[in-house]
Chain A
Amino acid sequence: MAIVASAKLSRANGLVQKIAINRNKETWRRIAVAAPYLWLFVFFLAPFAIIFKISLADPIIAQPPFTPSFDEAGRLTTTFSNYSFLLTDKLYAITYLRSVLMALATTLLCLLLGFPMAYGIARSNSSTRAVLLMLIVLPFWISFLLRVYAWMGLLNNNGVINNLLLWIGVIEQPIPMMYTDFATSIGLMYSYLPFMILPLYASLERMDMDLIEAAQDLGASRTKAFWDITWPLARPGVIAGCLLVFIPAMGEYVIPYLLGGPESLFIGRVLFDEFFINRDWPLASAVAIILLVLLVFPIVLLQRYQARNQEAGS
């Protein structure tokens, strides 16, 4: 009798303990979710509402340099004039278009160089592969600004490439390369190439090479084997890589500034200049909002692919 009672008691004790642990666990779970959630909400999401609010104001000479959303009488003073200006002014339309085209060209160039590189890395034996991968990741750790700076030294009229060509005697006059779209594209491609190679490598590495051999044994040509087997399997990596290059390249500031020269129209630069040089905060905010609208779709797409890749990986 006593034994049964004490067994029951200890079971009840265990249950109580378990409930307490569960409740404790629940608290810690909440904290683990809340801390990063709150941080990102305040410092990442909420500011977009502020940008939007300021994009509806008029610039004035004051501190801060824009009109408040309500006047003294409490009436709403918002205006869409910044947006209608941006959408009707030809210069801004051209700048947006040029940024999209340059970002697309960069993405394509990175894909053309990055795909065979990722393929080669995925196909090499494991010790070479580790070294090759490390060499792809290494530039990530070196200052972005300095990597762009390195190209300034190469592309100048008085730079390494021109001096070398002059010395060999291939050219008699230095080729103007600096401060051109060519220089900007090289800089963009150079900076974003690793972003393309890594996801491509991740999807190519999972691929079973025997599939291609089998296809070729069965009489498929190399091209056919590539398009029927390699490409579909690599596609998640291709899409992730392209988006990882395209999205940040769209808003690039440093590269067009340093390599593209003063005339280079790039939306990131326009935003920076409107804000810091013209001190037109409302217009800069409207520029940012339109850029954001252009990028929402690619960002959502990237996220879906990453979620899917993660599920496939586990």
Chain B
Amino acid sequence: MKQQSRFILSILSFGYAFLYIPLASVVFFSFNASNLATVWGGFSTRWYGELFRNDQVLEALFLSVRIALTSATLATILGTMAGLVLARFGRFKGRTLFSGMITSPMVMPEVITGLSLLLLFITLQQITGWPGQRGFSTITIAHTTFSMAYVAVIVQSRLVSMDESLEEAAMDLGGRPLRVVFDITLPLIAPAMIAGWLLAFTLSLDDLVIASFVSGPGSTTLPMLIFSKVKLGVSPDINALASLIIVTVGLGVVLAWLFGRRRSSKAQ
């Protein structure tokens, strides 16, 4: 390996410190006994206890998880189709518009996506009477729309890096197209689909702005609840909730990464 220059090494350490010190500080202060969120007053786990007795938090968490499970699944189905189309179907009429509609939701400012979907739901309601009440279904549709783009891109890049000859061989041997997809293509892109599903799940669980637009009275997702508390400033119970999320997600990502690495080194 080539020697890294001192400049690069110091920038790297600074960069990683910048990324991780804020998170570490939240976790640290979640064990603070003091009512003041950022002044140390001794070790305590009382804020965690209070969290589990808070019905509002549990209810919001339950709604968020339900939305995330549904929208991630829908997004994986539609996104996989879109990824297949982009990677395997060559040029067809309307392809430019198609790929444009796939990539734009990923960078579109959330306020625009949120506003446009809310106005769509209201117009639909005027014309068809659906959706009568905004909440679970409207948030799920909104989340599916922006997260299917991420799934599509992940599946597409997996397909592009993959040899097409296996599928062609199966076709030549007389495999029915649907069989070929289920027996050959899907198993090959399964890791990409799982990664896409997980990303869609987290994106849905994290979204605040779009959900604020398209939700109705009585449906408060976890980020909406956190935001309404955070608006008032830093508080110890939010520190505890944040730490739980940070540590759970962090451990999950590291474990998934270690698992993926072991598998790929075995494959070699």
**Could you list which residues of chain A lie within 8 angstroms of chain B, going by C-beta atoms?**
17, 21, 24-25, 28-29, 31-33, 35-37, 39-48, 50-51, 54, 64, 113-114, 116-117, 119-121, 123-125, 130, 132, 134-139, 141-147, 149-154, 156, 158-160, 163, 190, 193, 209, 243-244, 247-248, 250-254, 257-258, 268, 271-272, 275, 281, 284-285, 288, 291-292, 295, 299, 302-303, 306-307, 310, 313-314
Do residues B37 and A44 form an inter-chain contact, with CB atoms below 8 A?
no
B39 at interface by CB-CB < 8 Å: yes
Do residues A153 and B29 form an inter-chain contact, with CB atoms below 8 A?
yes
Do residues B101 and A149 form an inter-chain contact, with CB atoms below 8 A?
no
A24-B176, A117-B11 given; A291·B234 CB < 8 A: no
For B252, what are the chain A residues with a Cβ–Cβ distance below 8 Å? 141
The tally of residues in B whose CB lies under 8 Å from a CB in A reads: 97
**Minimum CB–CB distance for A89 against chain B, Å:** 19
For B81, what are the chain A residues with a Cβ–Cβ distance below 8 Å? 31-33, 35-36
For A47, what are the chain B residues with a Cβ–Cβ distance below 8 Å? 116-117, 119-120
Q: Which of A145, A154, A292, A307 contacts B230 (CB 8 A)?
A: A145
For A253, what are the chain B residues with a Cβ–Cβ distance below 8 Å? 110-111, 209
Chain A proximity mask over B9-49: 1 for CB below 8 Å, otherwise 0: 10110111011111101100100000011110000000000
Task: Pick out which of these stretches binds chain A: B82-90, B129-137, B186-194.
Answer: B82-90
CA distance A290 to B249 in the complex (A): 37
CA distance A119 to B5 in the complex (A): 11
B99 at interface by CB-CB < 8 Å: yes
Do residues B231 and A258 form an inter-chain contact, with CB atoms below 8 A?
yes
B267 at interface by CB-CB < 8 Å: no
Residue of A nearest to B229 (CB): A149
**Minimum CB–CB distance for A202 against chain B, Å:** 11
Residue of B nearest to A247 (CB): B107
Do residues A153 and B174 form an inter-chain contact, with CB atoms below 8 A?
no
Do residues B261 and A247 form an inter-chain contact, with CB atoms below 8 A?
no
Do residues B38 and A156 form an inter-chain contact, with CB atoms below 8 A?
yes
Do residues A32 and B84 form an inter-chain contact, with CB atoms below 8 A?
yes
Q: Which of B101, B178, B208, B245 contacts A28 (CB 8 A)?
A: B178
CA distance A250 to B257 in the complex (A): 32
For A163, what are the chain B residues with a Cβ–Cβ distance below 8 Å? 38-39
Do residues B230 and A152 form an inter-chain contact, with CB atoms below 8 A?
yes
Given contacts A147-B22, A247-B108, list 14 more A-B pairs with CB under 8 A.
A25-B177, A36-B79, A41-B101, A141-B252, A142-B246, A143-B205, A143-B242, A146-B226, A153-B239, A158-B36, A163-B38, A284-B115, A288-B115, A306-B103
CA distance A119 to B183 in the complex (A): 41
Residue of A nearest to B264 (CB): A130
Do residues A153 and B246 form an inter-chain contact, with CB atoms below 8 A?
no
For A123, what are the chain B residues with a Cβ–Cβ distance below 8 Å? 2, 4, 8
Do residues B145 and A141 form an inter-chain contact, with CB atoms below 8 A?
no
For B261, what are the chain A residues with a Cβ–Cβ distance below 8 Å? 130
**Minimum CB–CB distance for A291 against chain B, Å:** 6
Do residues B160 and A310 form an inter-chain contact, with CB atoms below 8 A?
yes
Do residues A39 and B148 form an inter-chain contact, with CB atoms below 8 A?
yes
4 closest A-B pairs by beta carbon, nearest first, are A251-B109, A47-B116, A150-B22, A36-B82
Q: Which of A134, A254, A257 contacts B254 (CB 8 A)?
A: A134
Interface centre among B39, B85, B115, B213 (most CB of A within 10 A): B115
Residue of B nearest to A38 (CB): B78
Residue of A nearest to B243 (CB): A146
**Minimum CB–CB distance for B11 against chain A, Å:** 4
Chain A proximity mask over B118-153: 1 for CB below 8 Å, otherwise 0: 011011001000000000000001101100100010
Residue of A nearest to B201 (CB): A141
A153-B37, A163-B38 given; A254·B227 CB < 8 A: yes
Q: Which of B12, B19, B209 contacts A254 (CB 8 A)?
A: B209
Q: Which of B7, B234, B242, B257 contacts A156 (CB 8 A)?
A: B234
Do residues B109 and A32 form an inter-chain contact, with CB atoms below 8 A?
no
Do residues B15 and A117 form an inter-chain contact, with CB atoms below 8 A?
yes
B196 at interface by CB-CB < 8 Å: no
B219 at interface by CB-CB < 8 Å: no
For B144, what are the chain A residues with a Cβ–Cβ distance below 8 Å? 39, 43
Do residues A190 and B22 form an inter-chain contact, with CB atoms below 8 A?
yes
A150-B25, A163-B38, A268-B109 given; A39·B78 CB < 8 A: yes
Q: Which of A139, A149, A244, A285 contacts B234 (CB 8 A)?
A: A149
Q: Which of A36, A160, A252, A302 contacts B103 (CB 8 A)?
A: A302
For B257, what are the chain A residues with a Cβ–Cβ distance below 8 Å? 134
Do residues A119 and B78 form an inter-chain contact, with CB atoms below 8 A?
no
For A42, what are the chain B residues with a Cβ–Cβ distance below 8 Å? 120
For A36, what are the chain B residues with a Cβ–Cβ distance below 8 Å? 78-79, 81-82, 85, 98, 102, 148, 152
